[in-house]
Chains A and B, each alone.
Chain A
Amino acid sequence: MEYLLEALNVTKIFGTLKANDNVTLKVKPGEIHAFLGENGAGKSTLVKMIYGALQPTSGEFRWMGSPVTIANPAAARKLGIGMVFQHFSLFDALSVAENIALAMPGDFDMAKLSEKISRVSKDYGLPLEPTAIVADLSVGERQRIEIVRCLLQEPKLLIMDEPTAVLTPQEADQLFLTLGRLAREGCAVIYISHRLEEVKRLCHNATILRHGKVVANVDPTKETASSLAKLMVGGEIHVVRAARKDKGGAVRLKLEGLNLHADGPFAVELKNISLDVRAGEVVAIAGVAGNGQSEFFDAVSGERSLPRDAMLLIDGKPMGYHGVNARRNAGAAFVPEERLGHGAVPGFRLSENVILTRHSSDEALVKSGMMQKNGASGVSERVIKAFDVRKGKPDPEARALSGGNLQKFVVGRELDRKPGVLVVNQPTWGVDAGASATIRQAIIDLARQGSAVLVISQDLDEIFEVADRIAVISRGQLSEAYPSSELSAEKIGLLMAGEHETREMAHAARA
C-alpha cells in the first residue's frame, strides 16, 4: 500500500457552483500534506467530503488502495480519519471529558476516559483537565480538546483546518511539535492553511487549489513563499502600499483608562485600556481571538455604554456615556466583525441596510420619523458603484451577496460618510483577495485624508499591510502601541501571549 488516501476525479456541485472540480490527489502514511488555497478555493469542501460530512457529486475516494464511500463522519472515524475543524465542534456547557466521550464510539466509562484523557494529552504536550467546562477555556485549550479527541481514536489520518488561525505563534510552535511527532509515528496529516511560511516549515507535500481545481502539487520546502502565493492566486498579488506620513495629526479617538466588566459568564473583562488614535494614521489591534476584541468593539462603538464619560473621547468630546448613534453623530463610524446579523440585516434590501447605521446621522434618510426611500437608494447606489459591489438584482437582500461583496458594502456604507473616526473589526475576515485589497486600500486612503482609523484584526499580514502603529490585546488588556516598523512578528507573538501583562505586573510590584 503506497497511498493511505486517494481522491480520484472528485467533483462537488452546490446548486450552480462547482466547489470542487475534478480533484485528484494522494496522501501517503506519515506525510504532512498541505491543502493550500484562498478562501473559497474549495479546501473546506474537499476535506468535508473526506470526513464524510458531505458527499461528492461524482468521483471516488480510495482508502488504503480500495474504493470507499464515506457516508458520514462516523464512518470516517471508523476508517481512522479524525478532523479538527476551524470552527470547533464543541459543546460549551459540557465538560472536556463529556465532549470527548461524544466523539467516541459506543458507551463509555467516565472515570476511565478521564484518566486516559489526562495521560494522552500530557503525553503529546497538550495538557487538559477532564472535568473543566469548555465555556471556561481559552481558544487554544479548546483546540487541544479537538486534537485529543482525534488522538484517542488512534487515527491514521488527521485533518486540521486552519489550526493556527486562532493560536499565538508560540502555541503554534507547540502544535507543530505535536504534529511532527504524529507524522513520525506514521499518522498522515492533511493541513489546510493559507499561511505560506507555516506550510514551508511543516509540510512534506502541498496540493494547491484554485477555484475548486487542483492547480499544482509541489514540495513546499523547495518553493519560496512568493512562488506558492503565485500558484494560489494565479498571478501577481496586489500589495497595498502604505504611503506613510511622517507624523500623525491631532488625537481624534482617545481611550483613557477604559474599564468594562464582563457581561456574561463567557465574556472577557476589559481592563484599563488607554490608546490615542491620531488624524492621518491607522492603528491596528492584534490578538488571538477571544481575548476581548468583541467586547472592545462594543465598548468603543457604544453598543455598551461605559462607566465614565471621559473613558472615551471623540475629537476631544467625552462620549463614554453616549450610545452608538450619538457617537456616529459625533463623526465616528463602525464596522463589526459579523456581517450578517450584526453589520447588516440578512433579509433586508441593501437600501434598507443603509438606514440601519445612518438613520440618525443622515438627514436625507429620515425626516421627522419617516424613512426616505429615495435617499436610501441613492446612498446604496453610490456605495455599490464606489466599491464595485457585485450583485444579481438592482437592490438585493443582504444575504444574497457573497461574503466579499457584502463586506465591501458594509465598509463602503460607513466610508461613504467620510467619518472622522473609523473603527473596523476584522475588516477582511473570510473575504477573497480582490475584495480584501479594495477594503484595505480604502481604509488607508481614509486615514490619509485626515481621519483616525482603528483596525482590530487577527491577521498579522493584514496588520502589517495597513497599520502605522500596532497594539496587542490579550485577556482584555491592551499593550502600548508600537510603530509597526519597530515590531517583529515574534515580538507580537510574545505580546499576544500576554508578555505586557507580566511586565506591567512586575512594574507594579517594583513600585
Chain B
Amino acid sequence: MRLVLEKRAERSTRMALLSPLIAIVLTLVTGGIIFALRGLDPLAALYVYFIEPLTSSWSIEQLIVKATPLALIGAALGVSYLANVWNIGAEGQLTAGAIFGSIIPVYFPEMQTPLTLVLMLALGIIGGMAFGAIPAFLKNRFSANEILTSLMLVYVAQLILDWLVRGPWRDPQGYNFPKTISFTNWQTLPSFQVLPPSIGPLYVNLGAILAVLAAISLAFLMGRTLKGFELRVQGVAPRAGRFAGFSREKTVWFCFLLSGGLAGLAGICEVMSTVGQLQPGISPGYGFTAIIVAFLGRLNPIGALVAAFALAISYLGGESAQVALGISDKTARVFQGILLFYILACDSLILYRFKLIGLSAAPVESRA
C-alpha cells in the first residue's frame, strides 16, 4: 500500500476550518497514549492537563496571563509567515523589548506618572522593532537568510540581558541576585475587572486588552486593506506581487517591524506584570511557542487569539500535572511540538486529498 496525495482543484474551506481541530484531537489521543504508557489513567491525566485549568476563575486569569504574550506575538508572526517572511527570532525581540522598556525604571526610578507607563510600553515596542530591524536590513541589503539571522539574535539578546542584570543594571540591594530593582506603581501594568464578582470576579491586565486590540486590528488589516492584500499576494505569488507593483523590501521591513514591535510589547508587558523586574529567564520560550500559535491559528490574527489559549492551557496544565501527577512539566513542550506536527500534516489536506494505492493494484489498473 502506498499513500499519495492528489491535488484539489480549489482550497477546501471545510478542511481549512477542520484542520486545527483534527490536529488538537490527534494531539490529545497521542497524549493519552503517552500517559497510558507511563502507567497513568489517560483520561484522568488528560483531565488534569487540559480541563482543570478551565475550572476556576483564578486559573482562567492565569490562562489569560500566559495567553497574552502568545497572542501578541502569534498574531504578528502569522501575518509575517503569510507574507513569506520568516521571523523566528521573536524570543530575541521579546527580550530586547523587555530591556528597552526597563530603561525607565532602571535610570529614572523616581519617575512615577502615567507617562511612565506609556513610555515603558513605547520603548518596549521600539526595542523589539529595533531588534527586528537587524534581520530585515540584512535580508534586504545582503540577502542574508532571515531565519538564521533572526534566530542567532535570540542568543545575542539573551546574553545582553544576562550581562545587564549581572552587571550595570543589577539591583545594589538585591543580595547579588541577577536582577534589576523591582518595578512598582506606574512601572507595572494596571489591571481591570472585566467580569463582576457575581459571575466570579475576573481581572485582566492592560497587556491582555492590548493583545485583543492588536489581533482585531491585524485581522482588519489583512482582510480589508490593500496593505493586507499586498502581504498575502507576496506570500503566495511573489512574481505576481512584483507585477502588481508591490515592493518586496518594504514587505520584509513591514513584517519584521510589526512582529518585532509586538514581540517587544509582549516582552515589556511580561516584566511589567508577571515578573515585576528584569531578570534572566523572563519568558518560558513564548517567542518560540508563538510560532505554533501562528500555525494553529491558521496564520489568522483572530485564530491566533484562540490558539494562544489552547497553548496557554498546555503551559498551565503542565504545571498542574507536575503537582498532581508527578509528570514533568517538560511534557508540555513535547505536546506543543507534536501539536505543530499534526497541524502541518492536517494543513496538507486543505490543498490535497489522500489516496491509498495498493502496489499490487497498480498493474491491474494499467492493464484492465
Q: What is A's interface to B at a CB cutoff of 8 Å?
A: 55-58, 60, 69, 71, 301-303, 323-325, 328, 334, 336, 338, 341-348, 352, 355-357, 359-360, 366, 369-371, 396-397, 399-400
Determine which of A60, A342, A371, A400 lies in contact with B229 in the assembled complex, contact meaning CB atoms within 8 Å.
A371
Top-10 shortest CB links A-B: A325-B245, A55-B366, A324-B245, A345-B237, A342-B239, A341-B237, A356-B244, A345-B240, A397-B10, A400-B9
A369 in contact with B226 (CB, 8 Å): yes
Residues of A within 8 A of B365 (CB): 55, 57
Determine which of B232, B244, B363 lies in contact with A69 in the assembled complex, contact meaning CB atoms within 8 Å.
B363
With both chains docked as a complex, state the minimum distance between the C-beta of A422 and any C-beta of chain B, in angstroms.
15
A341 in contact with B239 (CB, 8 Å): yes
What separation, in Å, do the CA atoms of A359 and B367 have in the docked complex?
53
Interface residues of B in 204-256 (CB under 8 A from A): 224-227, 229, 232-233, 236-237, 239-240, 242-245
Residues of A within 8 A of B3 (CB): none
B225 in contact with A359 (CB, 8 Å): no
Given contacts A359-B229, A369-B227, contact A344 B9 (CB under 8 A): no
With both chains docked as a complex, state the minimum distance between the C-beta of B85 and any C-beta of chain A, in angstroms.
17
Residue B362 is within 8 A (CB to CB) of chain A in the complex: yes
Given contacts A345-B233, A399-B9, contact A356 B240 (CB under 8 A): yes
Interface size on B, residues (CB 8 A): 24
Residues of B within 8 A of A341 (CB): 237, 239-240
15 A-B residue pairings within 8 Å (CB atoms): A71-B363, A325-B245, A338-B239, A342-B240, A345-B236, A345-B237, A347-B11, A348-B233, A356-B243, A359-B226, A360-B245, A366-B226, A370-B226, A371-B225, A400-B9
B225 in contact with A346 (CB, 8 Å): no
Closest to A322 in B: B245
What separation, in Å, do the CA atoms of A301 and B240 have in the docked complex?
13
Q: A342-B243, A369-B227 are in contact. List 13 more A-B contacts (CB 8 A).
A: A55-B365, A57-B365, A60-B367, A302-B245, A303-B242, A303-B243, A341-B240, A356-B243, A356-B244, A357-B244, A370-B225, A371-B225, A399-B10
What separation, in Å, do the CA atoms of A153 and B366 have in the docked complex?
27
What separation, in Å, do the CA atoms of A338 and B240 have in the docked complex?
10
Interface centre among B237, B365, B367 (most CB of A within 10 A): B237
What separation, in Å, do the CA atoms of A69 and B365 have in the docked complex?
11
Residue B199 is within 8 A (CB to CB) of chain A in the complex: no
B368 in contact with A58 (CB, 8 Å): yes
With both chains docked as a complex, state the minimum distance between the C-beta of B10 and any C-beta of chain A, in angstroms.
5
What separation, in Å, do the CA atoms of A366 and B366 have in the docked complex?
53
With both chains docked as a complex, state the minimum distance between the C-beta of A219 and any C-beta of chain B, in angstroms.
32
B236 in contact with A346 (CB, 8 Å): yes
With both chains docked as a complex, state the minimum distance between the C-beta of A204 and any C-beta of chain B, in angstroms.
30
Closest to A325 in B: B245
Residues of A within 8 A of B243 (CB): 301, 303, 324, 334, 336, 342-343, 356-357
What separation, in Å, do the CA atoms of A456 and B367 have in the docked complex?
45
What separation, in Å, do the CA atoms of A303 and B240 have in the docked complex?
10
What separation, in Å, do the CA atoms of A360 and B247 have in the docked complex?
14
What separation, in Å, do the CA atoms of A369 and B236 have in the docked complex?
21
A356 in contact with B233 (CB, 8 Å): yes
Closest to A302 in B: B245
What separation, in Å, do the CA atoms of A357 and B9 have in the docked complex?
24
What separation, in Å, do the CA atoms of A348 and B227 have in the docked complex?
16
Interface centre among B239, B243, B244 (most CB of A within 10 A): B243
With both chains docked as a complex, state the minimum distance between the C-beta of A399 and any C-beta of chain B, in angstroms.
7
A323 in contact with B240 (CB, 8 Å): no
Residues of B within 8 A of A56 (CB): 366
What separation, in Å, do the CA atoms of A92 and B225 have in the docked complex?
41
Closest to B221 in A: A369
Closest to A359 in B: B226
Residues of B within 8 A of A371 (CB): 224-226, 229
What separation, in Å, do the CA atoms of A336 and B368 have in the docked complex?
44
A343 in contact with B240 (CB, 8 Å): yes
B366 in contact with A359 (CB, 8 Å): no
Given contacts A55-B366, A323-B245, contact A369 B225 (CB under 8 A): yes
A69 in contact with B366 (CB, 8 Å): yes
A396 in contact with B367 (CB, 8 Å): no
What separation, in Å, do the CA atoms of A57 and B366 have in the docked complex?
5
Residues of B within 8 A of A347 (CB): 11, 236
With both chains docked as a complex, state the minimum distance between the C-beta of B355 and any C-beta of chain A, in angstroms.
12
Residues of B within 8 A of A328 (CB): 245
Residues of A within 8 A of B236 (CB): 345-348
What separation, in Å, do the CA atoms of A328 and B243 have in the docked complex?
11
What separation, in Å, do the CA atoms of A357 and B243 have in the docked complex?
7
What separation, in Å, do the CA atoms of A357 and B363 have in the docked complex?
48
Determine which of B11, B237, B245, B367 lies in contact with A397 in the assembled complex, contact meaning CB atoms within 8 Å.
B11
Given contacts A338-B239, A341-B239, contact A359 B244 (CB under 8 A): yes
Interface centre among A325, A348, A396 (most CB of B within 10 A): A348
What separation, in Å, do the CA atoms of A345 and B241 have in the docked complex?
9
Closest to A67 in B: B367
Residues of B within 8 A of A60 (CB): 367
Residues of A within 8 A of B363 (CB): 69, 71
What separation, in Å, do the CA atoms of A357 and B230 have in the docked complex?
11
With both chains docked as a complex, state the minimum distance between the C-beta of A428 and any C-beta of chain B, in angstroms.
19
With both chains docked as a complex, state the minimum distance between the C-beta of A206 and any C-beta of chain B, in angstroms.
27
Interface residues of B in 119-167 (CB under 8 A from A): none
B10 in contact with A400 (CB, 8 Å): yes
Residues of B within 8 A of A344 (CB): 240
What separation, in Å, do the CA atoms of A169 and B368 have in the docked complex?
44
Residues of B within 8 A of A58 (CB): 368
Determine which of B10, B229, B244 lies in contact with A396 in the assembled complex, contact meaning CB atoms within 8 Å.
B10
With both chains docked as a complex, state the minimum distance between the C-beta of B359 and any C-beta of chain A, in angstroms.
12
With both chains docked as a complex, state the minimum distance between the C-beta of B134 and any C-beta of chain A, in angstroms.
27
What separation, in Å, do the CA atoms of A356 and B230 have in the docked complex?
9
Residues of A within 8 A of B227 (CB): 369
Residues of B within 8 A of A357 (CB): 243-244
Interface centre among B233, B239, B242, B366 (most CB of A within 10 A): B366
Residues of A within 8 A of B233 (CB): 345, 348, 356
Closest to A336 in B: B243
Given contacts A69-B366, A359-B229, contact A370 B240 (CB under 8 A): no
What separation, in Å, do the CA atoms of A359 and B244 have in the docked complex?
8
Residues of B within 8 A of A334 (CB): 243
Residues of A within 8 A of B10 (CB): 396-397, 399-400
With both chains docked as a complex, state the minimum distance between the C-beta of A355 and any C-beta of chain B, in angstroms.
6
Closest to A323 in B: B245
Residues of A within 8 A of B9 (CB): 399-400
Closest to B220 in A: A370
Interface centre among A324, A348, A356, A359 (most CB of B within 10 A): A356
A69 in contact with B367 (CB, 8 Å): yes
What separation, in Å, do the CA atoms of A399 and B244 have in the docked complex?
18
Closest to A324 in B: B245
With both chains docked as a complex, state the minimum distance between the C-beta of B81 and any C-beta of chain A, in angstroms.
15
What separation, in Å, do the CA atoms of A94 and B175 have in the docked complex?
65
With both chains docked as a complex, state the minimum distance between the C-beta of B341 and any C-beta of chain A, in angstroms.
24
What separation, in Å, do the CA atoms of A347 and B235 have in the docked complex?
11
Interface residues of B in 335-368 (CB under 8 A from A): 362-363, 365-368
Given contacts A57-B365, A325-B245, contact A355 B224 (CB under 8 A): no
What separation, in Å, do the CA atoms of A73 and B126 have in the docked complex?
59
What separation, in Å, do the CA atoms of A71 and B363 have in the docked complex?
8
Residues of B within 8 A of A325 (CB): 244-245
